Structure 1
């Protein structure tokens, strides 16, 4: 007896969002940005017939998983999940934690791809403890080694991207190993900046899923950045 197995595309998306004290003025904006990203994932997944699963992390000086590998269709609004705390910013630790967790997902059946998107309004100052280290080389050095090694060793069907507040933070993210083309600047202090961030993450969702249809499972190379968005090159695009 022969059987015909259904081959389906499975997308695993990790959203890693800053909830440190500096995010307090931006809480409602962050909720809008993430909710729009999730809405884009839902709509595009339905259109393409993909299975898309989402994990959600928040971080200050602690990293917390809020949702694990849930069908994106069932994810509620961030309004009921996200809360700003008074802590510092363990950006590297949060980025690594989400990648490490996704690495435990079983991939034997189906065609799997992974997308991590980190959103922050600041820079690393607290990984590895409950106090600010403010760039102390003795503390920060090992974390830098870990994230650059991890980013450099990601499999070809993984994509990692980040939204940062300014050009200095963008250069820092590049030093961590985020591909230059997968780093976008967002201005959480202005309405225009928030609208641009929403456009960025909606484009990221669309590009990621449509890239799957073209056989692109992941990218470490700079991707198309017109209008500042993070996404994938489509077939035949420069």
Structure 2
């Protein structure tokens, strides 16, 4: 079911977006060489408790997950790109890490992701993150009432292909509201002018993710972490946005 929110409800959702953005900023700034992924998850958990928010991840158990997630932050390192399950791993110089975080504040959910390089960056990793961000910006630019979900998908795919990247469409964006995952599905490639019409009140998470040299993925032994099939690195970025009569509102804007 696709839900359209009123302007008042969108305003009520803003604190959730602000909180999610603040957590991602905090964990990105705390990520450094020698920092353990479990410590970053603990930081996010502490912020949830202090805010009186609720984690969308800790009890999450979809059909593709081996068990309830059990943590509050996704930490995907290097060849991992999605749903990285935090474990005891100390970040190393040059690691590319993606943080994905969703939380509920006062009953409203927002979802966002960011990719950063720890220590000394590789040029190809910096470019990959930039390509993912370019795709997200292009998608948001066409997220206007009167367009279609396919316009968002096509914008992401066009950017990815322009940089010689292959696009996986198994996981993508989604509706957001009272729950983390709802309709419509927002694929990272598609045909412009197709799909559900974008209407004022629609709130969606848009999340491009790219791998250096493949679009094939495999599930890690932990039953959650998704990695590239060829060991190449991945980048993932995401914002929750609200469609309005005018420009879209980026609910999870940072800074």
| TM-score (norm: length of structure 1) | 0.30
- Going by fraction, where is helix more abundant, 1 or 2? 1
* TM-score, normalised relative to structure 2: 0.28
